[in-house]
A and B are shown apart, each in its own frame.
Chain A
Amino acid sequence: MPLTLHLLRRYGFVFLLASLLFACSAVGTSLLSARWQVNNLMNDRIMPGIIEASRYSLMDEATVVTIAEQVNNDLQSLSLQSWLGTLSSCELQLRAIENTAIASAPANHGFSQHLQVTHQTGQQDALSASLSASFTLDCLVAPGPVLSMSFLFAAFVTALIAGLPRAYSPQQRQLLNVLSDVGLEWQDIQTVLTHLQKNDTASLQWYDFLIQRIQSGSLSVEQLMQSANASDCIQFHHDRQSVSIRGIEVPLSRTPYFYYALYAHQRHDDAQRNFSACDDNGWILNPASGRANPEHTRLLLNLMKTHDGHQKAIKELEAHGVRAKTMDQNRNKVKEELIKVLGESVAEQYLFETRRDSRTGRNHYRLKTSATKIILPL
């Protein structure tokens, strides 16, 4: 994916979300503050005015309507001010005094708010202590200022989010502290962290492994840097019977190594041959007693003979072929040795998975690591 398209997808959403939030808050702020100002106006001016006009009068419906007309005439002169002019206009209308409804012009189809206000008349007596009235406040929003300011603010925020370095996870912070404690240069620390920015479970387990190893002194700075620069793969070294996992080399015993390499070849070669359209490849069925798989025997013998395998193991293979018991023993040995170096949680990702063959009752085994992450010598 081109970089610009990637950035557009990544930060376009942030920009749109920020624009929406700013626009909503702008409109909400304008309407709420207008309502607040209207409430003040009603309490300070309009309600005292109505009370003064109705005081001591015969308050029949016609009187209420006469007073309401004066109020609504006055309210036509309503003007409001904000820095940005978010609300293009607002219309405040008196709709009722006590229970008497006031006929007035329909609203201007903007944002309409109903306001009910009860004002003390100044008398202590409970029967005539207050006068209530209801109003409607209709405001029209000016889209130009709202959208332009929202887009501007959203652009600033998006640029800020895009420009700042990415945040570290707790594991990354812990690793940063450990690396700092062991005296690694800041630039090298940044290199390590930049290469370990993935936050999947496997990566987080790898951080734990590195932290433990550095703290225990069993991992040198060079090894760490090597690991930081390495890809997330398992590389087999037939000549020295070791594997490199994320750049950390794990030496294995000779015979278990070749059995491990057999499974790696099976996984890798099946994928190369496009053995299955899905990821259902690389399985090796444990052989039945006395019926060794000649292909596996040949491959294993070839590996051992070419790369200085144990003579005893070679002779046994030549005599009996690949046997289930020997395969089980060597897989267990590989597991034991990987766990010893990498710890159980990290090693688990590079060991074996199993499934039962329903026809024979025997088990299939294969490497958990996907074929794309297995590197074999040419």
Chain B
Amino acid sequence: MRRIVVLATVTVFFAANIAVNMVYDLTIAEADYYRTSCQTGSQEQQARLTVLLVTAHQAGDIASRLCQSESISKAYGSVDVSWKPRTQLSSQELITEAYDVIWSREHVLIGLVPNIGQYYDPLLHFDHYSVYWLSLQNTPVLTAEYFQEKRIGLLADKNSHTHYLLPLESLHRSGIASDSLELVHFQDTNTLYQSFQNGEIDLITGGSGYTSPTPVYSTLIDDDAIAASFFVRQALSNQTIRCELIHALSPLKSLWQGIALHQSVPQTCP
């Protein structure tokens, strides 16, 4: 009996000890991770320059270039570069001009706001580009026999022209049923390219700017694919700032390699 009483009491105390020492709540601030910000150092300006990209690639570099720009610091107190999923861009954000610069395809923006021209101007406009089926083994042939038992790499982003829409469209046009094929969806382009180079994937699609360390066999899908361009808020009419924006976006140049570029600002940009 004595042992039971002692054991029960010790158990109760241990339970109480655990209860009072347990960490019952742990919180962090509500934040998303597709955004990087920096301060320009301006004491007078409170305004924030906002840029929307489609990838986190070089986002930090772009933000710091903008923050270090003298012209930008005269007009803005901080810079916010976001790469939130493009499917989350809304009509309301376009109408309220939530972003100063947007990287997107023109038809996507028109789809959201038909009179987008009233809100945004082209900043860097890209011509159409070519997209190819790529293989490390042999030249891709658009027949069901060729595609049979091949692993085909796509991007999980259903808005991706190069890595989702155009390859599926190509298969459909060639009469190859995509549901009978082994389609592998990737979360990001780098893993898609790495898996292709490692041989885990037999076929992928790529733009004319795709570079490979080993020889690649290619078959054209479309020589008139629509490239994404940069748009700037009409109200942001300061040409110096527009030039600074173009300069700050230059780390992304490797992504539009091989695509003709039209700069929508005066030739006064350095």
CB distance from B88 to the nearest CB of A (A): 9
B169 CB-CB contact with A under 8 Å? no
CA of A48 to CA of B1, assembled, Å = 54
Is B36 in contact with A69, judged by CB distance below 8 angstroms? Answer: yes
> Closest CB of chain B to A62's CB: distance in Å?
7
Complex contacts, A50 vs chain B, CB 8 Å: 33
Give chain B residues whose Cβ lies under 8 Å from the Cβ of A26. Answer: 17, 21
Tell whether, in the assembled complex, residue A29 and residue B25 are in contact, meaning their CB atoms are under 8 Å apart: no
A134 to B186 Cα, complex, angstroms: 22
Q: How many residues of A contact B (CB 8 A)?
A: 67
Q: Given A62-B61, A164-B2 in contact, is the A127-B188 Cβ separation under 8 Å?
A: no
Whether B6 contacts A161 by the Cβ 8 Å rule is yes
CA distance A49 to B32 in the complex (A): 6
The verdict on A6 contacting chain B, using a C-beta distance below 8 Å, is no
**Binary interface encoding of chain B residues 1-45 relative to chain A, with 1 for a CB under 8 A from any of its CBs, else 0:** 111011001100110111111111111110111111000000000
Binds A, one of B50-58, B111-119, B220-228, B230-238: B50-58
- Name the prevailing secondary structure of the B interface residues: mixed
Residues in A whose Cβ lies below 8 Å from that of B25: 37, 80-81
- Out of A56, A78, A153, name the residue touching B54 (CB < 8 Å): A56
Contacting A at CB under 8 A, from B176-234, are 184-191, 195, 200-201
A53 and B33 contacting across the interface, CB-CB below 8 Å = yes
Instruction: Judge whether B17 and A22 touch: CB under 8 Å.
Output: yes
Q: Is the CB of B20 within 8 A of A25?
A: no
A125 close to B (CB within 8 Å): yes
Q: Contacts A123-B187, A167-B3; is A156 near B28 (CB within 8 Å)? A: no
Contacts of A53 in B (CB 8 A): 32-34, 56, 83
Q: Chain A residues near B24 (CB, 8 Å)?
A: 33, 37, 81-83
The total of Cβ contacts below 8 Å across the A-B interface reads 200
Q: Is B250 an interface residue (CB 8 A)?
A: no
Q: Are B55 and A63 in contact (CB under 8 A)?
A: yes
CA distance A241 to B191 in the complex (A): 105
How big is chain B's contact interface, by range?
Answer: 35 or more
- Does chain A have a CB within 8 A of B160? yes
State which residues 145-162 of A face B: CB under 8 Å: 146, 149-150, 153, 156-157, 160-161
The interface bits of chain B over 81-121 (1 if a CB of A lies within 8 angstroms of the residue's CB, else 0) are 00111100000000000000000000000000000000000
Please judge, given known A-B contacts A55-B187, A56-B85, whether A83 and B19 are in contact too, CB under 8 Å: yes
Q: Are B26 and A57 closer than 8 Å at their CB atoms?
A: no
Given A69-B60, A153-B17, A55-B23 contact (CB < 8 Å)? no
Given A56-B187, A128-B156; A160-B6 close (CB under 8 Å): yes
Q: Provide the bound-state CA to CA distance between A62 and B21, in Å.
A: 41
CA gap between A247 and B157 in the complex, in Å: 97
The CA of A70 and the CA of B200, in the complex, are separated in Å by 32
| Interface assignment of B66: CB less than 8 Å from any CB of chain A | no
- Least CB distance from B163 to A in Å reads 9
B243 within 8 A of A: no
Check B18–A29 contact: CB distance below 8 A. Answer: yes
Contacting pair A56 B23 (CB below 8 A)? no
Let me know if B59 is at the binding interface, CB within 8 A. Answer: yes
Q: Is the CB of B190 within 8 A of A58?
A: yes
Asked if residues B20 and A84 are in contact (CB atoms below 8 Å), the reply is: yes
| Secondary structure type dominating chain A contacts | helix
Does any Cβ of A come within 8 Å of B67's Cβ?
Answer: no
Q: Indicate if A65 sits at the interface (CB-CB under 8 A).
A: yes
Is A109 in the interface zone, CB < 8 Å from B?
no
Bound Cα distance from A78 to B26, whole angstroms? 7
Complex formed: what's the CA distance from A63 to B14 in Å?
48
Chain A residue numbers with a CB within 8 Å of B86 are 56
Partner of A29, one of B5, B17, B27: B17
Interface residue A266 (Cβ < 8 Å from any Cβ of B)? no
Are A160 and B18 CB-contacts (below 8 A) given A55-B188, A62-B58? no
Q: Report how far A63 CA is from B83 CA in the complex, Å.
A: 11
Contact partner of A55 among B10, B28, B31, B156, CB < 8 A?
B156
A183 within 8 A of B: no
Whether A121 is near chain B, meaning CB under 8 Å from some CB there, is yes
The complex places the Cα of A37 from the Cα of B28 at a distance, in Å, of 12
* CB proximity of B7 to chain A, nearest CB, Å: 11
A-B contact pairs, 11 of them (CB 8 A): A41-B26, A45-B28, A49-B32, A54-B188, A56-B156, A70-B35, A79-B27, A84-B20, A84-B21, A86-B21, A167-B1
Which residues does A use to contact B, with CB under 8 Å?
A: 22, 25-27, 29-30, 33-34, 37-38, 40-41, 45-46, 49-60, 62-63, 65-67, 69-71, 73-75, 77-84, 86-87, 90, 121, 123-125, 127-128, 131, 146, 149-150, 153, 156-157, 160-161, 164-167
Interface residues of B (CB under 8 A from A): 1-3, 5-6, 9-10, 13-14, 16-29, 31-36, 54-61, 83-86, 155-157, 160, 184-191, 195, 200-201, 255
Which 7 residue pairs across A and B have the least CB separation, nearest first? A37-B26, A53-B33, A56-B157, A66-B60, A77-B29, A53-B34, A58-B57
- Beyond A52-B85, A160-B6, list 10 extra A-B contacts (CB 8 Å): A25-B17, A45-B28, A56-B54, A57-B57, A57-B83, A62-B60, A70-B31, A160-B5, A166-B2, A167-B2
